[in-house]
Every structure is written in structure tokens, then in C-alpha cells.
Amino acid sequence: MKSYLPKIISRGHPSTIMSYWAPVIAIFLTLLTGSIIFSFMGFNPLFALHTFFISPISTSYGISELFLKATPLALIGVGLAFCFKNNIYNIGAEGQLTMGAIFGGGIGILFSSLDVNGFWVLPIVILFGAIGGAFWALIPAILKIKFNTNEILTSLMLVYIAALILDYLVVGPWRDPQGYSFPKTRPFNESSRMPLLFEGLRIHFGLILTIISILVSWFIFSKTILGYQLKVSGLSPKASKFAGFSQNSLVVLTFIICGSFAGIAGVGEVTGPIGLIYRDISPNYGFTAIIVAFLGRLHPIGIIFSSLIIALTYLGAEDAQLFMQVPQAVGFVFQGLVLFYLLGADLLINYKITFNKKEIYEF
């Protein structure tokens, strides 16, 4: 019996090395696919890839922009890691981000319009952002534990609802009277805004918050009983019950952590680079962070790298639109592709591929 078709064989236990290699393979394959697509569109693939991935970060401003985009992505990504590790598919981070912007931004606007200033204003704004996101995340969490409702669908529906609430606020009650009827609020006062880290660059205090959150999350995941509980209940709910861990508290806790991270990311966007609230505060950061979390292997340090890589696709897409007249949405296509390849490459963690009886490629 000889077959020339590749065969998939179980490894018996997961390979740690492959779980690190899979994202690298995925990125490589995405670049390869990208160059093929670009050649079909009539571009020199090297030129296109250079425009997309090199030129956006060839200046210090470009690098600052990279970190600016990576800031919310990494923060939400690490929040999602809490949920995903626990096998909770919260895919409504975009809505939690929006609610964070509404709550935190709303307080910021209140302070600004009352002309209240002080060093304590920003912490309150950030806190309210976290509360807003956590509140919005708590809804699917409670529906899940009380009514057994699928969190994927409810958290997603809440994204649409949050966007409509935001729309209502900026069109209606919160609209800036001096805004020439544009649907936007008045700008924040200086004391509600995220301080800039460097003169002339847009990266702001949110980056520091993100780094702190990542380090704390890393500690929780690797050194604490809570991290262990998340791992166990993600791998086997039955074993988690056996151990006596409270499934419901874990669901609520992970949703709250993820929601507040997303909320902080939201408030960071409006009080950071944007400076006011309007309709389009996020270019899908909440959804893209799902890819960031998976590409970073749900590991805080991995998420730092993956957030930078995915942030680059945003910048690259902007440049591609400018210099190659390619629609900006090509960035999302790349993001989708990288996730596809990653999920495919993950096969190699648990299985190996053999091409015939004699040759077994040990990955």
C-alpha cells in the first residue's frame, strides 16, 4: 500500500515548538499570498510589499504611529486572551470599546464643559472608560450564566447596539453646538486627555497603561491560581468542576477584565489621538484584536509582537491606498488571511504530516 497523498498523523501530545512556529509560518504564507495578489493586480510584488510593510515604519513618526495603533490592539488582545483561554468567545470587544469611549469620554466632556481641571481628572476618565467597557461585557456574561445564552451572538449584537447608542449621542444630545452640524462632540480639555509621550509624536500615555496591563496579565497567567483556573476550565470544564473552580465566577471575571481593557482602549482613542468623540472612533480594533490574540498565542508577550504586526497592516493599507490606489480594505484581507493560515498551521501542533510510509517529516 503506497499513497502519494500526504497523510495526517496524530503526535499523541501537543508540540510546544510548533505552537511558536505556527505564527511565523502563517505570516510567511500571508506575505507570499500578498505578493501573488499584488502581482496579479499588476504591481511589482517587492515594491508592493515594501510600500505595505517597510515604508510606513521607516521614519520615527511612522514608528510612533505603529505603536499608536498597536496600543489598543494589544490591550484588547490581552483582554481577549483572558476570555479565550477560558474558552469564552467574547467577540464583542468592539462594542465594549465603544462603551468605554462613551462612559469615559462622556465624563471627560462633562468635566471639559464645566471647565473642571486637575491632575485627578484623567484617572477618573480612564476609570469610567473601564467601567463602561466592563458594564457592556457584563451583559453577555450574565446572560450566559443565568440564561445559558450563547455569548458569541449576544456580545456581537451588543456591538451594533453600542454603535447606535454612540451615533445617537453624537448626533443628538452630545453634539457640539459650535460644530457646524457635524455629528461630533466638543473637544476635551487638556486635563481629560492622554498626555503625549514625546513632543511631535502621537503616542500617548495609553501605551504605558497597555504595557502595565500586559505585564500584570503575564503574571496572572503564569504564576497565579487564577491563571491556572483559566487554563483548566478552558481545556476541560469537567476537570474544572472536579477541582471545584466556580465556572460562573470565571466567566464573569474574564468578561469584566476583557471589557475593562477594551473600555480603556476606547477611552484612550478618544482622549488620545482623536481628542473628541464622533462616529468612527475605531477602525474595527475590537475585531482585529481577536486576530492579535490568536496570533500572539494568547500569551501576553506574544501579543506584543502580534499587535505590532497587525498594526503594520493598518499603516500599510493606508500607504497602499495613497501610493498604489489599492482600497484600504486590503488591510482587513491580510488580517483575515493571516488568521486563516495560523489556524491551518496550528494543525502541526497536534499532528504531523507524512508523505509516504518511509519519510516522516518531524516538525
Partner 1 sequence: MNFDLIISIINIVLIATTPLVFASMGELITEKSGVLNLGVEGMMLVGAVTAFVTLVITENYFLTFLIGTLSGVIMASLFAFLVLILMSNQVATGLALTIFGIGLSSMIGKKYIGTPIVGVSPYYFIVFSFILVFLISYFLYKTKSGLILRAVGESHTSAHAQGYNVIKIRFLSIIFGGAMCALAGSYMSIAYAPMWQENMVAGRGWIALALVVFATWKPGRALLGAYIFGSVSILQMNLQGFGVRIPAQFFVMAPYLATIIVLVIISNDRLRIKLSAPACLTLPFFKGR
Partner 2 sequence: MNNIIEIKKLSKSFPGTLANDNISFNIKNNSVHAILGENGAGKSTLVKILYGILEPDNGTILLNNKNFAVKSPSESRNLGIGMVFQHFSLFDSLTVAENLVLGLDENISFSKLKEQVESISLKYELPLDYDAPITNLSAGEKQRVEIVRILLQNPKVLIMDEPTSVLTPQEVDKLFVTLRKLINDDKTILYITHKLEEVKKICDEVTIMRNGKIIETCNAKNEDVKSLASKMLGKKLPEIEKSKINSDNKKTVFEVNNLDLKYNDPFLVDLNNISFKVREGEIFGIAGIAGNGQSEIMNILTGEEIIKKKSAIKCFGTDIGNLGPKKRREMSIAFVPEDRLGHSAIPQLSLLDNVLLSQFKGNQFSKFGVINKNEIKEKTIEIIKNFNVVTTGYNSFAGSLSGGNLQKFVIGREILSNPKILIISHPTWGIDAGAELFIRQSLINLAKKGTAIIVISQDIDELLEITDRISVIYKGNLSDPLDTKNISLEKLGLLMGGKF
Binder of partner 1 out of 108, 203, 346, 352 (CB under 8 A): 346
Q: Tell me the one-letter amino acid at 123.
A: P
Closer residue to partner 1 (CB): 127 or 167: 167
- Other C-beta atoms lying within 10 Å of the C-beta of residue 4: 6
Q: Which of 176, 138, 84, 114 is nearest to 263 (CA)?
A: 138
Binding mask 225-254 for partner 2 (x = CB under 8 A): xx-x--xx--xx-xx-xxxx-x--------
Burial class (CB in 10 A: 0-12, 13-18, 19+), 292: buried
Question: Which option in partner 1, partner 2, none does residue 11 bind, with CB closer than 5 to 8 A by kind?
Answer: partner 2
Q: Which of 93, 26, 84, 28 is nearest to 293 (CA)?
A: 84
Tell me if residue 352 falls in helix, strand or coil: strand
CB of 1 to partner 2, least distance (A): 7
Binder of partner 1 out of 145, 157, 211, 226 (CB under 8 A): 157
CB of 148 to partner 2, least distance (A): 14
3-state SS string for 48-77? HHHHHHHHHHCCHHHHHHHHHHHHHHHHHH
Q: Which residues contact 132 (CB under 8 A, 6 or more apart)?
A: 96, 99, 100, 101, 102, 103, 104, 263, 266, 267
Closer residue to partner 2 (CB): 36 or 243: 243
Window contacting partner 2 (CB under 8 A); options: 119-127, 143-151, 217-225, 308-316: 217-225
Q: Which of 362, 358, 363, 361 is nearest to 3 (CA)?
A: 358
CB of 9 to partner 2, least distance (A): 7
The binding site for partner 2 (CB under 8 A) comprises 1, 9-14, 223-226, 228, 231-232, 235-236, 238-239, 241-244, 246, 357
What residues make contact with partner 1 under the rule CB under 8 A? 8-10, 89, 91, 143, 147-150, 152-154, 156-158, 160-161, 164-165, 167-168, 171-172, 287-288, 290-291, 294, 326-327, 329-337, 339-340, 343-344, 346-347, 350-351
